[in-house]
Structure 1
Amino acid sequence: MAKSKKKKRIWLWVVLGIVAVLLLAVIGYVLYVMISYHRLPDDLALEIRQPTEGGEAGAEVSAGTDYEIMTYNIGFGAYTPDYSFFMDGGKSSVAKSRESVLETVSGAGGLAAGYDPDFMIYEEVDLDSTRSYHVNQYELLDGFFGSYYSDFAINYDSAFLMVPPWEPHGKSLAGIALYSKYPVTSGVRKSFPISTSFSKFLDLDRCYSISRIPVENGKELVIFAQHMSAYGNSDAIREAQISKLCGDMQAEYEKGNYVICGGDFNHDLKALGDVSEDRESWAYPFPREKLPEGFSFSIDLLGEEERASMPDSARNADMPYEVGVTYTVTLDGFIISDNIIMKEYENIHTGYQFSDHDPVRMVFSLK
């Protein structure tokens, strides 16, 4: 009897020991995430990379000439058409393989380079991330845009996230790349307002970049490259991000500069109406009344029929892409100031071949 009680006590201590070790591991991990948390400083100057081959050295943009700009969220190279993402309700939290990442990023690079745009914006470009097998996607894209000037704004540099536990999303270092055929004189990274609650430790940082390109008439073409928050941020955070972005755009416009803002807005850009309509939390209509005077979304300059029939630029990743079944929405596009003329506008539909987004292109000229 005494031996039986002794055995039970031993097993109890073993179980308690295991629980204690697990508890210490959880506490240690939480402390690691909290201690390692940081945000990059606001108004961070960006390095301007010079062309590695050719380039338009000394060239300037001029009024009355047609130029082409594109934006493309490449989804850290993970989203093949059959990929689903855990934060959308799907399965995976990392790309299928390193080879798959190389293939999708190269596909996105080749697709855009085939249009030979004057300016190119890429979002969700990983530099060194667990989720994309540490492939430096900026260097990979450079191979398609060697004759361009470029800058890179780090969007987020996260701690190692142990979610989901069976396939951790891991550590992410990623951002927004801008490529320009014409010299970029300076670039700056601006921090978007984000949540200040505990959720900030698990959410991803957000930013936009401001890049300056000289125009022959003495003004500047100022390109804002941005990626707004998604995944159910509060109305207050959403409004704060829009307010800061619009304030900076307005300041440039008041200087007499030409302003283009492109990227993933994480708002439904086709929807103009009822915000109470049942929709995904990252697909609310963008509040047009918040735009400064003299600015408009390029998509709003299309005819109603053309706008409605245009393919959507993004898909939900809760399931593999299935035509007519998967939820799609237009999140990507451009805002332009009224001293810019839009000539062409297109959502390039690839069937989401290389990402959960498709590229958007615009042809424009300066007045």
Structure 2
Amino acid sequence: MKKIIHISIGTIIVLIGLLLAYLAYLSLTYYRQPNLKLTPYNQQHTQLTTNTPYRIATYNIGYASYSPEYSFFMDGGKYSVAFSQEDVLTNLHGIVSTLKNLKLDFACLQEIDQEATRSYYQNQIDYVTKKLPDFTYTYGQNYDSPYLFYPFKKPIGRAKSGLLTLSKGNIQQAKRVQLPIETSFNKFFDLDRAFTISDIPVQTGKTLSLINVHLSAFTKDKSVQAAQLKTLFRYMASAYQQGNYVLVCGDYNHDVLGNSADIFGKSKTPLTWTKPFPKQDLPQHFNLATQNLAQKKIPSVRNLNEAYQPGKTFVSLVDGFIISDNIQVDQLSVKQTNFNYSDHNPVVMRFQLLP
């Protein structure tokens, strides 16, 4: 009996030691990337002009891991990593084909992995940019997470992931701007957050400031989401005051329509990522583009608590565009992909820069 007790105590001590060592590893390897300049690659030489129709899409590609059958553990589902490397490549192929078929001049992609356990270490930035060789691009890291040993049966592992901005015009300069996040232990799960600004010259001498953003989804601290939006709005206003055209594209993890539950006939119980977007707090001279989206009733996101079941799975609209008043929206829609390659559908806009 004493021998069994000694073995049990020894096992407990070892487990506690391993836990403390792991917590120390998380703390020591955790860091936040500061504001920094980004390098534009593969420069194109098309110059933007006023009164010319352009097409742009914003698309959270869900690190090419969210097939329709997929559910995610943080949403109450089953899985933590993609089904297989082959599945990731199949989804990447579908994502690129979708972007090509949209005949775009610009694209903003979120949740694109550079190196991650969850997507079998496929460098998705390389994959996408090689398949779309006619675009200048900038990449800004959103987060570089240490290895998360959770869930225990199939850990999500480590992830280096971010924001990819593609432009047919040359990008003169670009930067990454850090966003506020939680400072509690929750920071290891909701991860770092940032947005990127890519400045694209216009023939008139002005600049189009194209902002790509992905706000926090799982934080329960409302002040963090409010602080993120406040930081974003401040940079938008500053760019506009400099005389720029300002176009924000991204996944806001807020209900863009404000009443998506009514429009899509879904539960009104709010999730951490379905609070109404605070349009009333937008800076002067800015609007959230929503033209005809409610009438068309095509969602941009699905819940990952279960495999996708059309008509049953919770859906909403959290992706889209914020535009300054010197930009004219000609057309706005959500491209229906039936969530075949991601838990999001791309949102597409045709616009013009006003003289």
Q: TM-score, normalised by structure 1?
A: 0.92
What is the 5 A alignment of 1:37-76? 37-42=30-35, 44-51=36-43, 56-57=44-45, 59-76=46-63
Give the conservation status (yes or no) of the 8 Å contact 1:110–1:144: no
Give the conservation status (yes or no) of the 8 Å contact 1:269–1:332: yes
Counterpart Cα distance in 1 of 2:100 and 2:32? 33
For residue 160 of structure 1, give the secondary structure of its aligned residue in structure 2. Answer: strand
Q: How far apart are residue 10 of structure 1 and its match? A: 1.5
Aligned to 1:291: 282
Counterpart Cα distance in 2 of 1:118 and 1:241? 28
- 1:238 correspondence with 2:225: yes
Give the conservation status (yes or no) of the 8 Å contact 2:60–2:109: yes
**Greater gyration radius:** 1
Q: How far apart are residue 198 of structure 1 and its match? A: 2.4
Aligned to 2:209: 222
- Counterpart amino acid of residue 77 in structure 2: G
- Counterpart amino acid of residue 15 in structure 1: S
Among candidates 315, 327, 350, match of residue 337 of structure 2: 350
- Counterpart amino acid of residue 189 in structure 1: R
Give the conservation status (yes or no) of the 8 Å contact 1:270–1:308: no
- Counterpart amino acid of residue 246 in structure 1: F
Counterpart Cα distance in 1 of 2:219 and 2:161? 21
Aligned to 2:14: 21
Give the conservation status (yes or no) of the 8 Å contact 1:340–1:366: yes
What is the 5 A alignment of 1:311-350? 311-350=298-337
- Counterpart amino acid of residue 175 in structure 1: G
Number of equivalences: 348
Q: How far apart are residue 199 of structure 1 and its match? A: 1.7
Consecutive aligned runs of 4 or more in structure 1 exceeding 3 Å deviation: none
Counterpart Cα distance in 2 of 1:235 and 1:84? 25
- Counterpart amino acid of residue 330 in structure 1: L
Give the conservation status (yes or no) of the 8 Å contact 2:190–2:216: no
For residue 312 of structure 1, give the secondary structure of its aligned residue in structure 2. Answer: coil
Query: Any stretches of 5+ residues in structure 2 without a counterpart?
Result: 262-267
Aligned to 1:4: none
Q: How far apart are residue 324 of structure 1 and its match? A: 0.9
- Counterpart amino acid of residue 287 in structure 2: S
1:283-311 C-alpha deviation (Å, 9 max, x unpaired): 10011111001100111xx25xx524330
For residue 299 of structure 2, give the secondary structure of its aligned residue in structure 1. Answer: coil
Among candidates 33, 38, 57, match of residue 26 of structure 2: 33
For residue 147 of structure 2, give the secondary structure of its aligned residue in structure 1. Answer: coil
Q: How far apart are residue 116 of structure 1 and its match? A: 1.9
Counterpart Cα distance in 1 of 2:321 and 2:297? 15
Counterpart Cα distance in 2 of 1:278 and 1:232? 16
Aligned to 1:3: none
Counterpart Cα distance in 2 of 1:278 and 1:166? 30
CA-based RMSD = 1.4
Counterpart Cα distance in 1 of 2:351 and 2:188? 40
Q: How far apart are residue 344 of structure 1 and its match? A: 0.7
Counterpart Cα distance in 2 of 1:366 and 1:132? 38
For residue 364 of structure 1, give the secondary structure of its aligned residue in structure 2. Answer: strand
Q: How far apart are residue 272 of structure 1 and its match? A: 5.6
What is the 5 A alignment of 1:107-146? 107-146=94-133
Give the conservation status (yes or no) of the 8 Å contact 2:190–2:219: no
1:200-222 C-alpha deviation (Å, 9 max, x unpaired): 23321111000000001110000
Q: How far apart are residue 231 of structure 1 and its match? A: 1.1
Q: Which segment is superposed worse, 317-326 or 199-208?
A: 199-208
1:164-200 C-alpha deviation (Å, 9 max, x unpaired): 1111010000000001111001110001100112222
- Counterpart amino acid of residue 294 in structure 1: H
Give the conservation status (yes or no) of the 8 Å contact 1:34–1:201: no
Q: Which segment is superposed worse, 75-84 or 226-235?
A: 226-235
Counterpart Cα distance in 2 of 1:197 and 1:36? 16
Among candidates 55, 76, 79, match of residue 66 of structure 2: 79
- Counterpart amino acid of residue 37 in structure 2: A
Q: TM-score, normalised by structure 2?
A: 0.95
Q: How far apart are residue 17 of structure 1 and its match? A: 1.2
Give the conservation status (yes or no) of the 8 Å contact 1:272–1:286: no
- Counterpart amino acid of residue 54 in structure 2: Y
- 1:362 correspondence with 2:354: no
Counterpart Cα distance in 1 of 2:27 and 2:295? 45
Aligned to 1:177: 164
Q: How far apart are residue 273 of structure 1 and its match? A: 10
- Counterpart amino acid of residue 31 in structure 2: H
Counterpart Cα distance in 2 of 1:64 and 1:47? 29
- Counterpart amino acid of residue 342 in structure 1: V
Give the conservation status (yes or no) of the 8 Å contact 1:316–1:356: yes
Among candidates 283, 288, 310, match of residue 297 of structure 2: 310
Q: Which segment is superposed worse, 15-24 or 171-180?
A: 15-24
- Counterpart amino acid of residue 254 in structure 2: H
Aligned to 1:148: 135
Q: How far apart are residue 234 of structure 1 and its match? A: 1.2
